[in-house]
Amino acid sequence: MRRKVYVEGSRPDIRVPFAEVDLSNDDPAVRLYDTSGPGGDPEVGLPQLRAHWIEERGDTEAGPALGPATQGQTVRHARPGRRPTQLHYARQGTVTPEMEFAAIREGLAPEVVREEIAAGRAILPNNINHPESEPMLIGERFLVKINANIGTSAVSSSIAEEVDKLTWATRWGADTVMDLSTGKHIHATRENIMRNSAVPIGTVPLYQALEKVNGDPKALNWEVYRDTIIEQAEQGVDYMTVHAGVRLAYVPLAADRVTGIVSRGGSIMAAWCLAYHQENFLYTHFRELCEIFAEYDIAFSLGDGLRPGSIADANDAAQFAELDTLGELTHIAWEYDVQVMVEGPGHVPMHKIKENVDLQREKCAGAPFYTLGPLTTDVAPAYDHITSAIGAAMIGWWGTAMLCYVTPKEHLGLPNRDDVKAGVIAYKIAAHAADLAKGHPTAHEWDDALSKARFEFRWQDQFNLSLDPDTAREYHDETLPAEPAKTA
Amino acid sequence: MRRKVYVEGSRPDIRVPFAEVDLSNDDPAVRLYDTSGPGGDPEVGLPQLRAHWIEERGDTEAGPALGPATQGQTVRHARPGRRPTQLHYARQGTVTPEMEFAAIREGLAPEVVREEIAAGRAILPNNINHPESEPMLIGERFLVKINANIGTSAVSSSIAEEVDKLTWATRWGADTVMDLSTGKHIHATRENIMRNSAVPIGTVPLYQALEKVNGDPKALNWEVYRDTIIEQAEQGVDYMTVHAGVRLAYVPLAADRVTGIVSRGGSIMAAWCLAYHQENFLYTHFRELCEIFAEYDIAFSLGDGLRPGSIADANDAAQFAELDTLGELTHIAWEYDVQVMVEGPGHVPMHKIKENVDLQREKCAGAPFYTLGPLTTDVAPAYDHITSAIGAAMIGWWGTAMLCYVTPKEHLGLPNRDDVKAGVIAYKIAAHAADLAKGHPTAHEWDDALSKARFEFRWQDQFNLSLDPDTAREYHDETLPAEPAKTA
């Protein structure tokens, strides 16, 4: 069976969880990376694993929240002039408890983790107001990670449902979760998600900013956006997608596309730019954003608002013009000790995938790449977890650090619980296949243990080692006689 | 909606089916490759599309069947000294009606088809006793094809179920079907499948030969195998997997593997070789096999009995030793005007896939490659349609001509109807993604039409153009209000 075990680090409060699978023969138990978190009562929230680490650094202080929505709450802010970011400490040569925790998860030396973060090649997203998070790494040198999107919408779903989806997604292996809620209860939904999440939470603040101006892109401005950022920062959001690369001059480049601008954030900012014929206010205020992000250790996820929405539009001038700007913004964020990753497409046929990774690595000086798939064909709605797992595996092999999942409902509707699981499983497959192909030193041990169990007809070991033991067991029992076949 | 249309060739009896999708705007209808066949009453069987083409060549004659199981039936044999194979005619410079039919399906000139067949780079598998088949091509230059395995076993399933699976698999896009039946009713199952199949049917004759000797590999011999080949030849089997590459000297090379020999045919022949310490009788009798195959225009599918069964065993000495022999056998088959394709793995991590295609192309002088996946990780039983669709798409891009599907039940049990569909859909995605990446001149038209429909919110067009319109429609209707959203 599988059970949770903890590996202790250099101090007793660094206890790193793994899922351990005991085998029925004499082979050693197999330890798997574990994203499921400590669990607990959703009304109470998770234990604050990092609270002491954050406090003891002395670079932050607790005080009243600034945001109107968080009024009356006590939250943490940076002390004046301090930058409580992991990038700051990594550059100083300090290995934080967070870095050590994440290093143990990866099976690597803490110093390697510090170096990768210091060089900007990896991020460890953890807002000082999200002490519940278990530190993890996003970077080419580390295991490929996956993100699952959840979120309420105006059309359907409740807060309880979304917290359940969070727990469900991380149970199957989601390394981070993005809360893409829209509609009335954005703030409350996010509060519930934050307090119950052991994985970093990402958001697209533009969605909430747009709600605040009643859905009219023209009514957006820097102040509304900034206040939204601060509200979310105080809740503990670990990384935020910012569409600062959709510059006014690039919008016309998308005019002749088959599918125009398909990123929601991209189209909102393009509409704003065109309405005023002005430069994107996120671009012009980017340094102010950096200052805020540095105060909470929020990581940038530089959004690709001009990503292609179809095979026909892949790798075009609009996409690559924006990538140039994302490279420029990456360097600016680093000036402020702010961690950065960069988002990528989208819809790309296989032969055009590698160019995306190579260009991103070059333009963004090795900052982690975080791609949505890519989907390798447009012809299979209802199966885009598969069309995109193909592209995700390849782009992961070639260096992408995190893969944003796609569910079977992509393009068709909102994912339910089964869709979330289908998306997570397809992407864990892609990520693990990429780890094998990258030559990660220990990734193959999982495959070898399962294959050996298979060859020796140790069925229970095979099931317990499976990415999804429940379904493997169920499929087996469906057609073959139960016990004799399993122990044969 | 979709409807079947026919494109006429140079003579009125060449009528090539396509699935045509009308669009709701003024764009031209989209024509899709169609594998579904003419349909009909399973008790009667399909019309004999090719009967006249076969007869008019005058190189075969109808006569009493030779095989004991087919006794009393009238079947076709080559006239003495004649080789009624497509390869023979291609080499003579003749474009057969079969070649023209297949050329129209591919949107290419018939002369291109003839050249590719003549050079051995493509096969057009169609036994003279399978006049019901609609000619199709397997070759690097053409659209990537997929195969679906079906078959009764001792454990479960009936003949009617298997014919239903055939119809079901081709409805979703299977280009060929392999009947891997074992157990009591092999001959009758195959007869029903042959008479109802518009796609080429492949088999592994060794399975039936083994049944004839009560499952004891040691009791196998050349005579039993030869009689089985003839029985199946007279029924019309279009291609046969022959495990002639599992040579005695290679068996020890698999001894230290994590998963030994996992191919069923491979382990049977290895057991035979080791029992007698003699060379594989399929290797020593290969020229006699060629003579029989030439008489019926059966294509070889040279089996890879030593394919790796796990990530750990990929690209090892056993696998590549056998590939050398498959190259040697390819050239021998060509001496007899027999069409050949070559089977490949199996389980291969992404970074080792390309080597397989490159080596096969070199050793087998461009003969079509036909691979099982490959699976890119071993850790996801119940999802091996996905672990393998990733590898299949990549190996297809790099030149593999046909991809043998893997269903979610792989390693766990026998596929049911839903599993067959899941496997076919995953592989159609892989094949089409490969066609796009290979730069097939017209493949992108399907994607472009669907993407344009998506961007313009022409929901019905998007559904009708989908690989699986039923599921796309169902998923959409599940979460979004029905009519307004679809026409919005």
User: Which pLDDT score is estimated for B162?
Assistant: 82
Residue A289 has, within 13 A of its CA and on its CB side, a CA count of 29
Contacts of A471 in chain B (CB under 8 A): 382-383
Angstroms from A425 CA to nearest CA on chain B: 8
Q: Supply the ipTM of this predicted assembly.
A: 0.96
Q: What are phi and psi of B31, to 5 degrees?
A: -105, 125
Q: What value does the mean pLDDT take over residues B86-106? A: 98
Q: State the pLDDT at residue B157.
A: 63
| Contact call for B480 and A379, based on CB within 8 A | no
Q: What is the mean pLDDT of residues B273-301?
A: 98
**Which amino acid belongs to residue A358?**
D
Compute CA A7 distance to the chain's CA centroid, rounded to the nearest angstrom.
Answer: 24
Q: How far is CA A328 from CA A250, A325, A386, A407, B404, in A?
A: 15, 5, 34, 32, 46
Asked if residues A390 and A379 have their Cβ atoms less than 8 Å apart, the reply is no
pLDDT at B211: 94
Q: Which of B446, B426, B482 is nearest to B2 (CA)?
A: B446
Could you tell me the two tokens for B126? 């169609």
User: Strand (E) positions, B356-487?
Assistant: 369-372, 402-404
Out of B259, B387, B478, the one facing A429 most closely (by C-beta) is B387
pLDDT band at B41 (very low <50, low <70, confident <90, very high): confident
pLDDT > 70? residue B91: yes
**Cross-chain residue pair B383–A425, CB shorter than 8 Å:** yes
DSSP code for A375:
B
Q: Which residues of A touch B309 (CB under 8 A)?
A: 451, 455
Handedness of CA B245, B251, B256, B260 (dihedral sign): positive
Check A466 against B379: CB less than 8 A apart. yes
d(C-alpha B42, C-alpha B426), whole Å: 27
Backbone angles phi, psi at A176, to 5 degrees: -140, 165
Question: Which residue of A259, A377, A390 is in closest CB contact with B455?
Answer: A259
Sign of CA dihedral A403, A409, A413, A414: negative
Q: What pLDDT does residue B481 have?
A: 55
Closest residue to B259, CB basis, from A262, A385, A455: A455
Smallest CA–CA distance, residue B387 to chain A, in Å, is 6
Lookup: tokens for A306: 């001009």
CB-closest option in A383, A430, A476 to B413: A476
User: Which of A259, A436, A479 lies closest to B413 in CB terms?
Assistant: A479
**Where does the pLDDT of residue B486 fall: very low under 50, low under 70, confident under 90, or very high at 90 and above?**
very low
Distance from CA of B237 to the nearest CA of A (A): 28
pLDDT per position as a tens digit, B303-329: 999 999 999 999 999 999 999 999 999
Structure tokens at A182: 């829209």
Which pTM value belongs to this model? Answer: 0.97
Burial class (CB in 10 A: 0-12, 13-18, 19+), B157: buried
Q: Which of B84, B11, B15 is nearest to B47 (CA)?
A: B15
SS3 A442: coil
Chain A nearest C-alpha distance from B443 (Å): 10
What tens digit of pLDDT does each residue of B344-391 get? 999 999 999 999 999 999 999 999 999 999 999 999 999 999 999 999
Could you tell me which of B47, B16, B55, B301 has the C-alpha nearest to residue B197? B47
Return the pLDDT at A219: 98
The gap from C-alpha A36 to its chain's centroid, in whole angstroms, comes to: 15
Cα–Cα distance for residue pair B296/B239, rounded to 1 Å: 10
- Mind giving me the DSSP string for B239-273? EEEE-TT--GGGGGGGTT-SS----HHHHHHHHHH
C-alpha distance from residue B12 to each of A78, B15, B128, B267 (Å): 82, 7, 21, 49
Mean pLDDT, consecutive 10-residue segments, chain A of 488 residues? Answer: 93 97 96 94 92 97 86 92 97 98 97 98 98 98 97 70 91 97 86 96 97 96 97 97 98 96 97 98 98 98 98 98 98 98 98 98 98 98 98 98 97 93 98 97 96 97 97 89 45
- Residue range B237-254: average pLDDT? 98
Which pair of structure tokens corresponds to residue B16? 């090539």
B130 CA: distance to closest CA in chain A (Å): 32
Which positions in chain B touch A408 (Cβ < 8 Å)?
A: 475
- The answer to whether residue B487 scores a pLDDT higher than 60 is no
What would the 3-class secondary structure string for B164-216 be? HHHHHHHHHCCCEEEECCCCCCHHHHHHHHHHCCCCCEEECHHHHHHHHCCCC
pLDDT tens by residue, B97-156: 999 999 999 999 999 999 999 999 999 999 999 999 999 999 999 999 999 999 877 655
Contact check, Cβ <8 Å, A393/B390: yes
**A15: burial class by Cβ within 10 Å (0-12, 13-18, 19+)?**
middle
DSSP code for B219? G
Among B165, B432, B468, B475, the residue to mutate for chain A (most A Cβ within 10 A): B475
Instruction: Please state, rounded to an integer, the average pLDDT across all residues of chain B.
Output: 95
